[in-house]
Structure 1
């Protein structure tokens, strides 16, 4: 699974102990948990949410707050033989963290394990957010795509090599036929040479008195043979150089065409793109800062609504008798404003928080659009730079080809001069030999010439046979690579298949998990006239930079039935608050399971379940227990009493 969460599965101890100082509304506390269900039972404003935040802090989350009157806080989790400690400090109005938490990257846990009221997975369903984007957010799709492109290139290189082997294999029959022909010609030449040598031996006359002339003649004949052999080699080298020049000129035309098709880009356009990228990055950074501030404000106000004591100054510590706190505990309809100190209706603050959430969502969408624009500008600039680099490389290749053509032309000129000199030398030798010939010796001279010519031709054919055999041996050596190349190609193909289906498989698993658990829970929870809730996975065309790609979409479907049993499709807006909360929790559970979060963080935290009735809360909690090693749930006393079975209940925090 591609995500930022720790990928190493850890052993889960049977018990955990948490020590807390100055987190949320907690001065100091120590609480122990055991595997299974752990219920935090109590009224509102009894620091249950603060304790959940302390667990999150020790596990690695940054979505925590310090006590309002404290500048430092700690959360320490003793888990088996290991201890994980997190330090929080307030600096310039923001909270910084340090220490050694359980997780290096809490992204998956924040999304799918820490299910407080503000949890994004829970809220995504109610707000109608992009469920597919949220499920796939921990998956580094860019890295997967880059890996796909790398394996495609690797596979293409192997395919090119296999095609080359196919071409070489097709040449073998022709080469073997040529070898057979040349071998037959060699055998014929060897027979002719043996016959000519025998005839020369038989017809050799006694020319003892002219031995000096014979010796000189034989020397000239040997020189003639050697010179002819050198002339033939020179002609072969000239032909080879000309073939190379022809191939280079063909390559030069191809490179020239490639060069003309490339653009080096306009410096003004590059400067403009770089300036736009800088501006978009600054704008995105500003939006990220604003989103972070909005999130902090939302969390602060949510905590103010749930646990006023955790954010209001301790009035007794400043000499007061605590009437504001008493009033908060007695009257749940008003809350003391943390900015001006006046009493404000709870629903007014809730409305403000909803407005802040809407603004935050708008900013998130703006940031997403900016990211798309930024990616498009970067891709354009990258393409220009790649073209410039390719242009320069192509120009260097063209210059190299020109140099090579010039060098080979010079070599052809040199060899042509050598060939002309050798031709002149042969003419001179033949003239000298003719002058040495006599009437009595003319037959012997002819036989000498024939033997020399046969020896020369035999040497040339043997050299040609050796060249053919070397080429055949080279091809056979290359063909032995086929098995290894085919195995590597199969590996690359398998890896490509896995990479291309990985994203699709995660999406399919998430939809299947949600639909299965939603069906199971709805059957048990027995909501009136709510027949089915499921995710329908469809595909649609979207633009990514300059390209259009196919992307999956998760559409939430709801079917109800009338009193007379007629089914009809409904929308998320018409779900009751209880139904929406259950749907959001099941969606979070699907993410928890499909990303195997339970393997790396054994805790799931549940809070703000008041919209669901007690019996259904008990059903949901008991259902979730089957999939989570440590399930910690914050409940009101009356809801906690509905939880059956063996479980821990924590009331004093």
Structure 2
């Protein structure tokens, strides 16, 4: 059992209601607060003000609230009006039943099925683009499309890294072979040196001088090889630096301040438009109802004559006719439509700005990464250049030492025998081979390091691809489930209500860019037909079925325990009963509206007789 206390919400000044499990029917005439009760429930649920509409604070009231008491907790939600330079704004505070954004969006679209339900409105207005946007909305709150785009970008980067690791892997065998060959050559040279040293009888001074010369020559070769590697490394890093700089220059990141200001202004304008649209709609419907029900005598004196009925305008008091009032009502309807078109255009602009803001945040993040990489490359290049300068100084010093030692050795060497000459050559070859071996081992170590990352990179790539595929499959599964749920619900509706069309199905259209659109297709007497050709009641049935498909696809029954239904006066009383029977097992609680002339219904009837509503106050006014 739910207990509601309502103050200054919609048309209800003060009111209380108890809602039980199963069907709850608010049964009353126009302007008695039926729709206002549903608005109060939506307020405490936390779903009002989501799609540009204003929170339903009573006109002229500065504050209103709804208190919901359930078996488990109590929630009190307050609406407050504030006046600023841009006019009146209404804000919500306090506790709401739903707190998660995705739950609120899903409930607003697929569980709260009033006449102003966005899905019903999109079907009614045959706005396929808007319908697609709304049906995909719960997935958008999870940023699935953006996450898919980011994953695709990550996969491209990882594939480039994997390509480098694979190239390093391909170079490993020849590098390993080169190391092995040089190790064998060095071992043979050392064996030959040992043999020659036994045969060469030279004094200690000449041997020491030769050993020192060989050592210096080996050190010089090593330093020169190290210098060459450093110079190549600098060249590679400078090339990377230029690439990153070019990528950074090509990356455009506009300022976001103007977007924030712009979107705030547009949202304020949307809220202002929503209030005006609601006001015009209320004005149109109330006056239209008086004319359609032929109840002018209730509110003014009617002078009936052969030439036509005249009466005092119930607004200004001047003489007028029903045709004049109809003409004014049509003007009000056209003005309302004009405001609705402006609001729809602003909603589209707001969505584009929000998408642009997301793009800006993504580009800023990428810019920051590029800037950090550029800074690091510059630091690495500077360190390498300092190492090059030090090596060049050391090489210059070693070259001088080697030149002096060679001169000393030539002076000390009088008669170089064949074995002594060969020994010197072998010693030099040993030094050269040791340097080659050192370079080959360095190269092998570098390739092994690069290749060792291959498994890790492959694993990361596989994880990213799996995550991407999982997101795509999840998105497609939801899209397919949405289509199936629509078809199942439509089959039930057709068999229960026997509308004037034979069938309807939700068509999922896959675009070349991997995006998806939804389109409702209808058939009548074996031919395709259009929503525009359906009766008003049939259009509302299709809209309700579409919302219910979303309800079941996104498991809205697990998010909110109730379904709200309003704006079904176009249906006959029998069909309203069928709809209540169809929905009562869908949710734990069903709250719907009905006129008294529709008769009795199974379930709890909620009467607004004890409520204080605006229409009662106006009727009591002198």
For 2:24, which of 26, 38, 45 is the aligned residue?
Answer: 38
Match of 1:89 in 2: 80
Taking the TM superposition and a 5 Å limit, the aligned residue runs for 1:578-593 are 578-593=537-552
Quick one: distance in 1 between partners of 2:213 and 2:3?
99
Q: TM-score, normalised by structure 1?
A: 0.74
1:294 lines up with 2:276 in the alignment: yes
1:77 lines up with 2:68 in the alignment: yes
Structure 1 residues 260 and 239, CA gap change in structure 2 (3 angstroms): same
Aligned residue for 2:413, secondary structure, equals helix
Cα shift readout 1:483-516 (whole Å, capped 9, x = no counterpart): 4433322210011123345544444333332232
Contact 1:179 1:468 in 2 (8 A): yes
Match of 1:99 in 2: 94
Quick one: distance in 2 between partners of 1:518 and 1:33?
29
Taking the TM superposition and a 5 Å limit, the aligned residue runs for 1:435-514 are 435=414, 454=426, 457-458=429-430, 461=433, 464-465=436-437, 468=440, 472=444, 475-476=447-448, 479-514=451-486
Contact 1:23 1:66 in 2 (8 A): yes
Cα shift readout 1:537-592 (whole Å, capped 9, x = no counterpart): 33568xxxxxxx5643333322212xxxxx32222222112211211111221222
Taking the TM superposition and a 5 Å limit, the aligned residue runs for 1:165-244 are 165-199=165-199, 217-244=203-230
Cα shift readout 1:355-413 (whole Å, capped 9, x = no counterpart): 35422331134325644775798799999999998998899789779867865764565
Cα shift readout 1:604-625 (whole Å, capped 9, x = no counterpart): 1111222111222222222222
Deviates more, 1:627-636 or 1:385-394: 385-394
Structure 1 residues 460 and 246, CA gap change in structure 2 (3 angstroms): closer
User: Per-residue deviation at 1:245?
Assistant: 2.6
Structure 1 residues 573 and 286, CA gap change in structure 2 (3 angstroms): same
Contact 1:264 1:387 in 2 (8 A): no
For 2:520, which of 546, 550, 556 is the aligned residue?
Answer: 556
Taking the TM superposition and a 5 Å limit, the aligned residue runs for 1:611-622 are 611-622=570-581
Quick one: distance in 2 between partners of 1:186 and 1:538?
71
Deviates more, 1:517-526 or 1:134-143: 134-143
User: Per-residue deviation at 1:522?
Assistant: 0.9
Deviates more, 1:98-107 or 1:402-411: 402-411
Contact 1:234 1:419 in 2 (8 A): yes
Say which one has the larger Rg: 1
Taking the TM superposition and a 5 Å limit, the aligned residue runs for 1:37-76 are 37-62=23-48, 65-67=56-58, 71-76=62-67
Taking the TM superposition and a 5 Å limit, the aligned residue runs for 1:517-532 are 517-528=489-500, 530-532=501-503
For 1:624, which of 579, 583, 605 is the aligned residue?
Answer: 583
For 2:506, which of 517, 526, 535 is the aligned residue?
Answer: 535
Quick one: distance in 1 between partners of 2:205 and 2:321?
125
Structure 1 residues 295 and 597, CA gap change in structure 2 (3 angstroms): farther
Structure 1 residues 44 and 393, CA gap change in structure 2 (3 angstroms): closer
Quick one: distance in 2 between partners of 1:338 and 1:110?
37
Quick one: distance in 1 between partners of 2:10 and 2:183?
95
Quick one: distance in 2 between partners of 1:625 and 1:524?
15
Quick one: distance in 1 between partners of 2:243 and 2:278?
59
Quick one: distance in 2 between partners of 1:39 and 1:66?
23
Structure 2: 5+ residue runs without aligned partners?
49-53, 301-309, 610-622
Q: CA RMSD in A?
A: 4.6
Contact 2:248 2:371 in 1 (8 A): no
Quick one: distance in 1 between partners of 2:555 and 2:270?
29
Match of 1:136 in 2: 136
Structure 1: 5+ residue runs without aligned partners?
1-14, 205-213, 309-322, 329-333, 542-548, 562-566
